A and B are shown apart, each in its own frame.
Chain A
Amino acid sequence: MYCLLRPTYCRLKKDAQYKPPEVNYRAIIHLMSQSVKITLSLIITILLIGAAAGLVQQNDNAVPGTEARLMTPKPLTAFQLTAHDLKPLNIERLKGKWTLLFFGYTHCPDVCPITLTELAQMAQQLPPEVLDNTQFVFVSVDPQRDSPESLAEYVGYFNESFLGATGSIDALTTFARQLDSKFSLETDPAGEPIVNHSSAMLLIDPQAHYYARLKAPHYAEEILAQYLALRNNYSPNTP
């Protein structure tokens, strides 16, 4: 055992000239007890911090899949867009159903069709009773090029039940702001419009409260899991 602890000494023991160095055991024991104290207090501190963090976490979103939920869901205020069926898309139309909504434009060949494809995939996997009170809305922020009529064809390509909508720039700006979203329309040197828009998917609850924000990139399985978790842990009375 001694040799295990002091291999240098054991190796040199055969040498008659060698004398083991004097060891001040008392000092070592003192140092050890000091370090044990420090270590213990460190462990306690870490545990305390961990517990505190756990408490905070619990208040917020302890249920897996509900991380996207807002701290305080926000009641939406009046807005008016035009849906692809030429009827208004307003606050009344968001009530009574869950709404998954995102901003885009039809001249976006990459990320918008990708997201709509994922959303269509996700819709297919929803249990019928959930699908029944869910609506999917694609809001075009490019009203110059996207009419309600062209949106009807566009969103219908992905899923017959998807709703397309657009409106005046003012109406779109008001609406987007309520959902902490933004967009910008610029023109490139060749005169072609450049459209930038928020990439998050927004979840609005059946009381027309902005309820959760799902970050991009959007994949069917993740949207599905998050949406179901958010619904399962929803109680309309808690803000």
Chain B
Amino acid sequence: MMALTKTFPLVFLLMMTSINAADKLQVHDAWAREAPPGTSVMAAYLTLQNPSLKAYTLTGLSSPDFKRIEMHRTEQHDGMSKMLPVPQVMLNSKENVVFQPGGMHLMLINPKKPLKAGDNITLTLFFSDEHSTKSSLEISLPVKKVTANTRHTLHNGQHDSHSHQH
């Protein structure tokens, strides 16, 4: 009993801090694949984390660096590769959604200037919550040239993106 009384303030403090951090959507491991010459599209990948108690919907994206950004999913079906448009992405409470090579990805269309490995891209993600309240999240992500095995890049944590919610 004594132990419980002693640790209670600590538990309470921990709960408070987790509540403070909890409300914000977070983006991790964001990066874009450098586009080979001869094409005008590139793919970007990221992990969306929703630590809050609310569900969100990712309704779209924009970037000052591109004409247009779409969400797509690569599907292997019946021996065929297909890219299917994903109009919006549900992000339930306490859930992560991963955009990764060979799966769901962001398609960055028509860069306004040539982008090379080492450059940074600014992206704005638009969300709507359960009450249709709109919010947005601006992130910056690096362009990378992938030469290593892509299967390994799937598992490498790449923590050089940062985000601010508005």
Separation of A40 and B40 alpha carbons in the complex (Å)? 68
Q: Is the CB of B72 within 8 A of A106?
A: no
| Complex contacts, A108 vs chain B, CB 8 Å | 41, 81, 83
Separation of A53 and B41 alpha carbons in the complex (Å)? 49
How far is the CB of A94 from the nearest CB of chain B, in Å?
Answer: 22
Q: Work out how many contacts link A and B, with CB atoms closer than 8 A.
A: 95
* Total B residues in contact with A, Cβ cutoff 8 Å: 30
| A129 is an interface residue with CB less than 8 A from chain B | no
Look across to chain A and name the residue whose beta carbon is closest to the beta carbon of B151: A219
Given A114-B150, A118-B149; A151-B38 close (CB under 8 Å): yes
| B43 is an interface residue with CB less than 8 A from chain A | yes
Separation of A146 and B39 alpha carbons in the complex (Å)? 9
| A111 is an interface residue with CB less than 8 A from chain B | yes
Q: Which A residues from 48 to 107 make CB contacts under 8 A with B?
A: 104, 106-107
For A216, give its contact among B33, B76, B146, B151 (CB under 8 Å): B76
Q: Which one of B21-29, B101-109, B132-140, B155-163 contacts A?
A: B101-109
Q: Is the CB of B81 within 8 A of A196?
A: yes
User: What are the interface flags for A104-133 relative to B under an 8 Å C-beta threshold, 1 for contact and 0 otherwise?
Assistant: 101111110110111011000000000000
Q: Is the CB of B81 within 8 A of A216?
A: yes
| B118 is an interface residue with CB less than 8 A from chain A | no
| B164 is an interface residue with CB less than 8 A from chain A | no
Separation of A106 and B37 alpha carbons in the complex (Å)? 9
| B5 is an interface residue with CB less than 8 A from chain A | no
Q: Which A residues from 177 to 191 make CB contacts under 8 A with B?
A: 182, 188
Separation of A215 and B76 alpha carbons in the complex (Å)? 10
> B-contacting residues of A (Cβ < 8 Å)?
104, 106-111, 113-114, 116-118, 120-121, 146, 150-154, 156-158, 182, 188, 194-200, 215-217, 219-221
CB-defined A-B contacts under 8 Å, sample of 27: A106-B39, A108-B41, A109-B105, A110-B74, A110-B107, A111-B81, A117-B150, A121-B149, A150-B37, A150-B38, A151-B38, A153-B36, A154-B36, A154-B37, A154-B38, A157-B37, A157-B38, A158-B36, A195-B83, A196-B83, A197-B81, A199-B76, A215-B79, A216-B79, A217-B76, A217-B102, A221-B149
